[in-house]
Amino acid sequence: MLLSVILPVYNEHTTLGLVLANVSHALPTVPKEVIVVEDCSIDGTREWLERNIPQGVKSGSGFELDADGNLVPQSSSTAASVIIRSVYHE
């Protein structure tokens, strides 16, 4: 079973990283796919996503934020995989 979570975002530059990290750690034994749908933000959200998920997909067993607020994939032998995908509205 794969849990798909869809996160529509608009102007979430200051909160998106923390939300993604928290979602990645919820239900640690369940594989997750998090789809972030960026809806023409004007506060830097799109740029943050492009910087943190440059290929449109990032995976790990969870994610943390570094000191600069960027996503860092974690690896664990006990946690299920987490895939984050970004989708951009024009």
- List the chain domain ranges: 3-88
Tokens (6 digits) for 72: 């860092």
What percent of the chain stands above pLDDT 90?
A: 91
**pLDDT at residue 5 is higher than 90:** yes
Rounded Cα distance, 25 and 62, in Å: 6
pTM: 0.92
Under a CB-based contact definition with an 8 Å cutoff, are residues 75 and 60 in contact? yes
> Taking residues 28-48, what's their average pLDDT?
96
pLDDT at 1 over 90: no
- Distance between CA 3 and CA 33 in Å, rounded? 6
Mean pLDDT of 14-32: 95
